[in-house]
Amino acid sequence: MSTTGKRLRKLREKKGLTLRKAAMQADVDVAILSKMERGERKLTKELILKLAEMYNENPDELIIGFLGEKVINELENEEFGMEALKVAEKQLKHIKKQ
């Protein structure tokens, strides 16, 4: 299960929403939202933003976790994953300075 998915489920439950009601409000299929919460289907940034708004949560932490998970999914089985991550960090810092 993805950390972001777990977090979204906890937020939904804290808000007192059933899976069905949250899915209806977010305009997504119940089965799909369930799979996303369990990490069996990929979340989207758009849905995370919508759910954060529904749950009255600041989306920044959720988006940061989501992006981190995307990076991990790409690099976790790569022999040079850590080295690639370091190079990407340097490149991203350079891009942000421009």
φ, ψ (nearest 5 deg) of residue 15: -75, -10
pLDDT attached to residue 82: 94
Per run of 10 residues, the mean pLDDT along the chain (length 98 residues) is 87 97 97 96 96 96 94 93 94 92
pLDDT attached to residue 1: 46
The model's pTM: 0.83
Identity at 15, one-letter amino acid code: K
CATH superfamily of 3-97: lambda repressor-like DNA-binding domains (1.10.260.40)
